[in-house]
Structure 1
Amino acid sequence: MRRSILFSLLFTLVAGIALAQRGVWWSRPTETTKRNGVPDWEVDPNFPGDLFTFVRIKYNSYGGRGGGGGWATDYRDSDLNFSLRLQQLTSLKVNPEPIVLELTDDRLFDYPFIYIIEPGSLVFSQAEVAALRQYCLNGGFLMVDDFWGDSQYENMRRELKRVFPDRDPVEVPLAHEIFHNVYDLKEKPQVPAINAARRNMAGEIGSWERASDGSDTSTPHYRAINDDEGRIMVFICHNTDLGDGWEREGENQWYFEEFSVKKAYPMGINIVTYAMTH
């Protein structure tokens, strides 16, 4: 992993924490652009490598064991919106163009943060297993998001066990700094897909999400695989869909206020903050 990138990102991110804590949520512009309404911004051409780039992982193998979607779920609005909010709410210098890579791409090691979505039926090739192990043990950070129920989790757990035979995911307690380093979260956030979000007559907020295997999805789980120093290198967001909170922010004001603003973006920013400072 390139130290110059990590040092620059660390410096700018720490400088921007105060701005994020003030909770300045910018409104969406109304004009339509090639970026689906997400504004572009200038980057310093003299430092093209000193940018945080959101990297989505494309996986080709798909075993069909646990159900769910695929690597392109919520693409590309989710990645654009999250990049925009990082640019606005922290002092990170963010690439306005998120990218898609395969785990076997040599460029993977140029980026300290990668994202996998909908892994309920993902099956890594042996080459992907080797590449992901090397990436994480060399200092890279993997975020896994948007899968529901026991069978989808078991599929992901099985595949990660191939990557790290000597390590197991552990539940991350709410007291861990990843829930408090920028936004002080009072609970582990659960973000449903926009069509599964609910509010009952008493005003209580929740989710109608159901697992294909009928297992309970009422409790969000945040699990981690740690390195030898106890630092998170794989962060697993289960029974929640942070990506939909990013993607769908402009579609419904209530969903935006309750799930994007209060849950999806704070948790995402906390995760990136942790990844860039450890």
Structure 2
Amino acid sequence: MKPPRAAKILVAALVLVGCLVVAVENEEIGGTPANFGIKDGSMPENPREYRRNGYDAYPTWPVSKELPNDVFTFARIRYNSAYGGRGGFGRGGGRQWSTDYPDSDLNMSYRLQQLTSLQVNPNGAVVDIDPEQMRHYPFLYMIEVGHINITDEEAKTMRDYMLNGGFIMVDDFWGTEAWENFEAALKQIWPDRKIEEIPLEHEIFHMVFPLKVKPQIPHIRYAEYVIQQGITWEFDKPGSEHVHYRGVFDDKRRLMMVICWNTDTGEGWEQEGTDPWYFREFSEKYAYPLGINIIFYALTH
């Protein structure tokens, strides 16, 4: 489909924004969205508490006082890893689920609020694979799934969530070994559905921003290799050369899960203020447009 004129305006807005701005001062911040996430005390309720200067480093904005929960909340899934359990941020081998957290989540939330008509929760949330927690969010984000370890009950919970209209974005795992490990979990979740390669023509790549390529977004530590050699993959992980966007569809061909393999969209969100060149080449050009496209697809299908 031909993208609306608004998409061009949003692209121009991204160009003008530049690196991450400082916090927005607003004495009347409005309502406070409720987070229905984990309550076990292993994480701060407010993701900004992860950073000593979190309240000053990230923008914030008002939400409706009358309908404080009538907002989109960027929520990520906390899961067990094959070595180390769930863990917390910076707490050993189970922290894969918290990679890039909370920077990527807060930056993505800010850009959604800034560049689209969505009303967005400025804080975000983390949820376990639990139906009561997950049901509050139409979009969930999973990251670094190369060592994920889920039970059959958790697999059913995820399957039911998606079949009932929910959407999961999987991101940032590289190489053949990571794919094979995650594929075992996929067979638990979807024993009777196939995993399909999503063509560039699919609307998920064109919802708001028309993407001409399937982007491969590298971790910022590989940026020098991009500049010197044009390498955007993690060359120390065999099988990571080619980016893949795979998915699972329901019986009506609604995409329920997008799997971004051999690319790191969340890094583009997290590192947008680290280096102007990286921001221009990956955050602005690919990570935010792709993220916005995926979220808009999830909310409209």
TM-score by length of 1: 0.86
Listed as ranges, the gaps of 5+ residues in structure 2 are: 24-51, 85-92
Is 1:155 aligned to residue 181 of structure 2?
A: yes
Tell me the secondary structure at the aligned position of residue 53 of structure 1: coil
Alignment partner, residue 235 of structure 2: 210
Aligned partner letter, 1:79: D
CA contact (8 A) 1:161 1:168 kept: no
Q: Report the Cα distance in structure 2 between the residues aligned to 1:52 and 1:15, rounded to whole angstroms.
A: 24
Aligned partner letter, 1:29: V
Aligned partner letter, 2:281: E
Alignment partner, residue 123 of structure 2: 97
Label 1:71 to 1:112 Cα distance change in 2 as closer, same or farther (>3 A). same
Alignment partner, residue 196 of structure 1: 222
CA contact (8 A) 1:68 1:147 kept: no
Alignment partner, residue 72 of structure 1: 98
For residue 246 of structure 1, the aligned residue among 251, 260, 269 is 269
Q: Report the Cα distance in structure 1 between the residues aligned to 2:240 and 2:269, rounded to whole angstroms.
A: 20
Alignment partner, residue 87 of structure 2: none
Alignment partner, residue 128 of structure 1: 154
Is 1:145 aligned to residue 171 of structure 2?
A: yes
Label 1:101 to 1:36 Cα distance change in 2 as closer, same or farther (>3 A). farther
Q: Report the Cα distance in structure 2 between the residues aligned to 1:176 and 1:23, rounded to whole angstroms.
A: 25
For residue 62 of structure 1, the aligned residue among 53, 68, 82 is 82
Tell me the secondary structure at the aligned position of residue 237 of structure 1: strand
TM-score by length of 2: 0.80
Alignment partner, residue 266 of structure 1: 289
Tell me the secondary structure at the aligned position of residue 254 of structure 1: helix
Is 1:219 aligned to residue 242 of structure 2?
A: yes
Label 1:208 to 1:60 Cα distance change in 2 as closer, same or farther (>3 A). closer
Q: Which moved more, 1:181-190 or 1:24-33?
A: 24-33
> Could you tell me how far 1:40 is from its partner in structure 2?
0.5
> Could you tell me how far 1:157 is from its partner in structure 2?
1.6
For residue 70 of structure 2, the aligned residue among 50, 53, 69 is 50
Q: Report the Cα distance in structure 1 between the residues aligned to 2:177 and 2:68, rounded to whole angstroms.
A: 42
Q: Report the Cα distance in structure 2 between the residues aligned to 1:107 and 1:123, rounded to whole angstroms.
A: 19
Alignment partner, residue 29 of structure 1: 21
What is the alpha-carbon root mean square deviation over aligned residues? 2.3
Tell me the secondary structure at the aligned position of residue 57 of structure 1: strand
CA contact (8 A) 1:15 1:91 kept: no
Is 1:182 aligned to residue 208 of structure 2?
A: yes
For residue 143 of structure 2, the aligned residue among 117, 124, 140 is 117
Alignment partner, residue 169 of structure 1: 195
CA contact (8 A) 1:17 1:90 kept: no
CA contact (8 A) 1:55 1:114 kept: yes
Q: Report the Cα distance in structure 2 between the residues aligned to 1:101 and 1:221, rounded to whole angstroms.
A: 26
Percent identity (aligned):
47
Listed as ranges, the gaps of 5+ residues in structure 1 are: 1-13
Q: Report the Cα distance in structure 2 between the residues aligned to 1:19 and 1:44, rounded to whole angstroms.
A: 26
> Could you tell me how far 1:275 is from its partner in structure 2?
0.7
> Could you tell me how far 1:130 is from its partner in structure 2?
1.6
Q: How many residues align?
A: 259
Aligned partner letter, 1:57: I
Label 1:159 to 1:243 Cα distance change in 2 as closer, same or farther (>3 A). same
